[in-house]
């Protein structure tokens, strides 16, 4: 897959999964009516029993992200991660790379004592929803938004936008669909963070291979790894090797698909 841009295949929820997402909110009827109406529109909903709001675009891949975070609980923290983060004895600094619509940012606010959160997202349309999400949520946390592509240096890259959670740096820089977007060197952010979520559609490999990656204080990483740009035949094996070389213990992979998967890693010792 290195040097090849995977085809974009839109995914939307249907049937029972839509009802599962609707049941998360204090106003499930409005959610189902808007989703069933067929219009692609952004709306925000308050989560039951939580002082947090989720924003999404109806009729799009956004609903799968909300389902993954809040129904499947795909980012539920493993016990070793909770223990490592609790051992800091203070509110946490979190970095969300590939923040998309802000669903992970909201999730982590709801389960951990977060003091500061930096959310990095390059896609214009995703960023607009992310900004709305921040505006609709409690302001007790310092929540900084950065509209850049996460990278190991500042500059610019060719980027395939408009693909919702699948927007990515282009492997084929000559693609007519790719546009130039600015990058930010996120290694300094990673070095100062306690928890890092990394879902940047193949751009993770340059970060994991950068010598600065091992020099930070991060207690835990949750990584979605991808075949594109992978420095070896197995994306999981490469991710595990690079994380362990940086001093992390890795958990088993989960949410595995043909070209991607996820894993948690935490500081050893």
Measured on CA atoms in the order 45, 47, 48, 49, is the torsion positive or negative? negative
Region 74-267: CATH code: 3.40.50.150
- Greatest C-alpha distance within the chain: 53
The reply to whether the predicted model has a pTM over 0.85 is yes
In the chain, domain spans:
74-267
pLDDT of residue 37: 84
- Residue that is written with structure tokens 């499947």 in the block: 72
Distance, CA of 265 to CA of 78 (rounded, Å): 10
- Residue that is written with structure tokens 């999404």 in the block: 56
Distance, CA of 32 to CA of 215 (rounded, Å): 47
Residue spans of the chain under pLDDT 70: 1-13, 269
69 closest CA partner among 105, 104, 119: 104
107 closest CA partner among 31, 50, 42: 50
- Residue that is written with structure tokens 């500061």 in the block: 116
pLDDT of residue 1: 45
Distance, CA of 97 to CA of 104 (rounded, Å): 10
Cβ proximity of 201 and 169 under 8 Å:
yes
264 closest CA partner among 202, 166, 195: 195
> CB-based contacts of 259: which residues, under 8 Å, 6+ apart?
1, 6, 226, 227, 228, 235
């Amino acid at each position: 897959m290195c040097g090849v841009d995977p085809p974009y295949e839109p995914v939307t929820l249907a049937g029972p999964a839509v009802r599962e997402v609707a049941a998360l909110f204090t106003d499930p009827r409005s959610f189902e009516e808007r989703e069933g109406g067929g219009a692609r529109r952004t709306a925000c909903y308050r989560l039951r029993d939580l002082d947090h709001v989720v924003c999404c675009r109806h009729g799009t891949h956004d609903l799968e992200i909300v389902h993954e975070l809040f129904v499947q609980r795909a980012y539920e923290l493993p016990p070793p991660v909770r223990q490592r983060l609790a051992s800091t004895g203070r509110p946490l600094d979190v970095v969300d790379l590939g923040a998309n619509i802000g669903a992970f940012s909201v999730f982590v606010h709801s389960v951990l004592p977060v003091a500061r959160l930096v959310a990095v997202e390059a896609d214009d349309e995703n960023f607009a929803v992310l900004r709305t999400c921040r505006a609709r949520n409690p302001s007790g946390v310092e929540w900084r938004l950065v509209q850049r592509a996460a990278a190991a240096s500042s500059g610019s890259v060719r980027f395939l936008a408009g693909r919702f959670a699948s927007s990515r740096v282009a492997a084929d820089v000559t693609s007519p669909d790719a546009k130039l977007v600015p990058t930010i060197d996120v290694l300094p952010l990673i070095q100062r963070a306690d928890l890092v979520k990394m879902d940047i559609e193949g751009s993770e490999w340059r970060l994991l291979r950068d010598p600065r990656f091992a020099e930070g204080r991060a207690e835990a990483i949750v990584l979605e790894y991808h075949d594109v740009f992978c420095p070896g035949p197995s994306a999981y094996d490469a991710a595990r090797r690079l994380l362990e070389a940086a001093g992390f213990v890795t958990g088993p992979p989960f949410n595995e698909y043909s070209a991607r998967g996820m894993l948690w890693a935490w500081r050893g010792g």
